[in-house]
Amino acid sequence: MEAKAKARFVRVSPQRVRWLMNEVRGKKADEAIQFLTFSPQKGARILKKLIHSAVANAEAHSEIDVDTLFIKQIFADEGPILKRFRPRAMGRASRIRRRTSHLTVILDGK
């Protein structure tokens, strides 16, 4: 049985959070949380919270043993991009693209 959690419209670029996802993919849930606790990146806090949420969803189902949960799938899709402008020299403006992500974690028990 699988447990799933999603975080949408997260203000971190998918490229930055995918690095962390590659590190925790396939690990047990508590090992992944331990790794993310001591990672300094902004996305680590978000991923840790998301994995906690997926574990809580698994606890809600009585069939799943929480101790055997591992990360079956974890991925980051691109969300909408917030477009901002920054003033530049000689009256020009340059575009700033603030990227967002949709994060998904699927846990499975062995």
CA distance 60 to 67: 14
Please write the tens of the pLDDT for every residue from 76-104: 999 999 999 999 999 999 999 999 999 99
Q: Average per-residue pLDDT in the chain?
A: 94
Please write the tens of the pLDDT for every residue from 19-46: 999 999 999 999 999 999 999 999 999 9
Write down all domains in the chain, each with its CATH number in brackets.
Answer: 2-109 (3.90.470.10)
β-sheet bridge partners, residue 103 = 7, 76
